[in-house]
Structure 1
């Protein structure tokens, strides 16, 4: 099993949670509740062993302060170096902060296998954001690495981290970077259903969707319905761990898909996308 969506925090963030809650507004909205769990690298590996997860994509948080992002990225990269093939590092950063492209290049040079989970929790994706993303996406395109971005459904109840109000934001992103490999977290907020439109089907040819938080949001049929629309080879298991453990996803997948389709979602698609070797199993 390969999990493409997990969050990792160093002890210095966990120990000083309330200081960081005060320093970063969005972090405070999501992690200001003491029930919001955080795990370090060792706790991640222990959970992976318990859940039979071979490899996990790990990333931090898109802090407003790029200095914190740099320190957090170093922790992620060091952890991945210690647990090679188990932890797959993505660089996380604030694209609007000075030095974002340089931080992307630094992390890629150190072995980052992508960028994510990027999130714009307090504003919409617009042309200004697109312009800030251009140098980051160019680096990723040249390195053939994926870009993972937070999305959410624009309807339904509110929850911490829910910010996107219009799916056209996602279309704008993909339309500007059609040659980049883009992973839309959380089923792309439902934009996958619009791939029944011929125009979007062609435009989204390099887009993948992860399943993060699916048990909180969708009925189990989402796995079968989405696969029939976009293809089962473009769905990636993402758990949002430590928010949800893999078994809840596996139960829903087993209820709706055969073994071959389940294998694609839970392992093969991510292995192909991330270039993982057999030793990761």
Structure 2
């Protein structure tokens, strides 16, 4: 089984008239202002899954700030998951800065979604409030036995749209304060896994944390698979494509070039994700 743990789909109106949704949504405008920034629907994703031999994908939307936007988008995720229950697993998404964040998370989880994410804040000046609310959401996910997937990125190197201002220390503190919550840190957790090499505390703190590979071909050389697996264990790595940003085949080629053994490839490509989603293998 191949499980893609990180994909984005959008309702028809959002795809056809994206400019309508730029108002009071600086994060969306930042990432999707250019026509080449592709928006797809569930049908597009399923066709790509069939082409790439992917059995299941985790789908989510965008961390909208406006309530009407994130409710409409999450309704589409719910509709898609209920329509294709054997192919799609859904997460609810919204801005962690929203005063309705916890209420929307409850709604999504009670209606059948299995996690919350990919949550992100793309502008500076609001991170303290964002992490206070993320703490509430982490506790809520623990109560529901749901997964919390967070956008993270490396704190150094080239700047690009979507490189968020939050530091790894804030994410580490959040994880440490919520040891029963299952976290997935997108984009290799910005390299947070490296600190599991420390002798005290960190490895135990990260015991309930997984790292997805989203955007890896844009960010890291293929050696990261072996290096990360050697530090945190290959069982903690989840294949996530960030489709439609990148096609899954690009990742599979890099995994092959990294010289990863077949049994480890099976873990990364699907077995780890299936276990986290509590799916039969």
Normalising by the smaller structure, the TM-score range is over 0.9
RMSD: 1.4
Return the alpha-carbon distance in structure 2 between the equivalents of residues 209 and 121 of structure 1: 20
Corresponding position: 1:180 with 2:175: no
Unpaired stretches in structure 1, ≥5 consecutive residues? none
Deviations 1:209-258 (A, max 9, x none): 00000001111110001000000000000000000011111111122200
TM-score by length of 2: 0.95
Distance 1:168 1:261 in 2: 30
Deviation above 6 Å: which 4+ runs of structure 1? none
For 2:168 and 2:58, how far apart are their aligned partners in 1?
Answer: 25
SS in 1 for 2:268: helix
Is the Cα–Cα contact under 8 Å of residues 123 and 164 in structure 2 kept in the other structure?
yes
Q: 2:121–2:127: 8 Å Cα contact kept in structure 1?
A: no
Is 1:67 matched with 2:77? no
Identify the residue that residue 108 of structure 1 maps to in structure 2: 109
3-state DSSP of counterpart to 1:56 = strand
Alpha-carbon displacement from aligned partner over 1:4-23 (angstroms, at most 9, x marks no partner): 00000011101111111234
2:269 matches 1:266: yes
| Number of matched pairs | 278
Report what 1:224 is aligned to. 226
Give structure 2 stretches of 5+ with no counterpart.
none
1:39-188 alignment, distance < 5 Å:
39-123=40-124, 126-164=127-165, 166-188=167-189
- The alpha carbon displacement at 1:69 in A equals 0.5
Q: Is the 8 A contact 1:187 1:211 kept in 2?
A: yes
- In 2 relative to 1, CA 149–267 (structure 1 residues): closer, same or farther, beyond 3 Å? same
